[in-house]
Homo-oligomer: A and B are copies of this chain.
Amino acid sequence: MILYLTKNITPAQIAELQLHLNQIGCDATMLAMHNALLSPNLKDTKIKEKYPFIKEVKSIDSPFQLPSLSFKKETLFEVNGIAIGTHFNNIIAGPCSIENEEQIFETATFLQKQQIKFLRGGAYKPRTSPYTFRGLGKDGLKLMKQAADANGMAVVTELIDLSLLEEVLQYTDIIQIGSRNMANFYMLAELGKVNKPILLKRGMQAKVNEWLLAADYIMSGGNEKIILCERGIRSFDPMSRNVMDIGVIPLIQSLSHLPIIADPSHGTGASQFVTAMSKAAMVAGANGLMVEVHPDPKKALSDSKQALSFLQFEKLMQEIELLKPTIKNPIDASYSIVA
């Protein structure tokens, strides 16, 4: 239950209410941005009558609280001139790993010509084996920032450990949390204090409730700029790297106000299927895409099988262009994938 408080409530009154809630065994988290107290396990619908400085109460009937549609109807914020949320309308693109100056500049220059406003790239790579390329680290971050700046693009990169937060914050516009860290609750709680948007990938076997509760860790900490990202789930068939759960897109939209994008590169693990699955995600309602692209996929130091070449990416853009007129945003008919 969310208790919206009157404007002129005093700190002492808030403390009184929190004490009461704790005494009856209920949590009570202050949501400063909303001048409200969140108490998920409170059931007493008559509490408003007892405390006149409670203006309004709102029940939330799900394990996750702040990501719920019962809490708010839409999330809307802006990055690099692009409205994200109900209008999120661009593609996050770039290589899996930043490999060298030439590679990242060449990619950024190409993408800028395709009207892409978000450059992705990994500087610290979470690799299954310790004996594979783990990224350029801080040097990679610097190179990507330069390439993005030179092309009017915003940076999206992954934070793989909290100890790297300061460093990553210096170079990125959106912080990506990878599937392996979706349930890293200590890190999520810290991200609640950060003033940059968080791209929260779904864990490889995360249930929808768990994913939205992960977002709730960030939101209840104070950061409400979250973009969810479906990237494929683990299945029983070794034939494909992952199963891309396209159905989770409308499902999430029926439960939450948070924007959701799709990553067909990891979702399929195979470049030949990326265009088909990009289109599928788009018509199913995704607010955007995240796609791996590389000047020479065969030579990529990581995920070489799933990166699009420049030519393939241009083809993808044409197909997206063709689909654009068929897409209606549930809230705003002017919605389009590429502005």
State the A residues within 8 Å of B (CB): 27, 29, 38, 40-41, 63-65, 124, 126-131, 134, 160-164, 180-181, 183-187, 189, 204-205, 207-210, 213, 216-217, 220-221, 233-240, 243-251, 254, 267-268, 272-273, 276-277, 279-285, 319, 322-323, 326
Contact = CB atoms under 8 A, between A and B. Distances in A.
Number of copies of this chain that the complex holds: 4
A185 B273 contact: no
Given A184-B161, A186-B124, A240-B251, A280 B246 contact: yes
B236 A250 contact: no
Contacts of A216: 129-131
A273 to B, nearest CB: 5
A246 B213 CA distance: 26
Contacts of A250: 272-273, 276-277
A239 B284 CA distance: 18
Given A237-B208, A243-B245, A130 B160 contact: no
Contacts of A276: 247, 249-250, 283-285
Contact of A280 (B209, B272, B273, B280): B280
A277 to B, nearest CB: 6
A65 B131 CA distance: 9
Contacts of A184: 126, 160-161, 180-181, 184
A320 to B, nearest CB: 10
Nearest to A188: B130
A161 B162 contact: yes
29 contacts: A40-B131, A124-B186, A126-B185, A127-B185, A128-B213, A131-B220, A160-B184, A161-B187, A163-B186, A180-B184, A180-B185, A208-B237, A209-B239, A235-B235, A235-B236, A235-B243, A238-B238, A240-B247, A240-B251, A244-B247, A247-B268, A247-B276, A247-B277, A250-B272, A250-B277, A254-B272, A280-B281, A322-B326, A323-B326
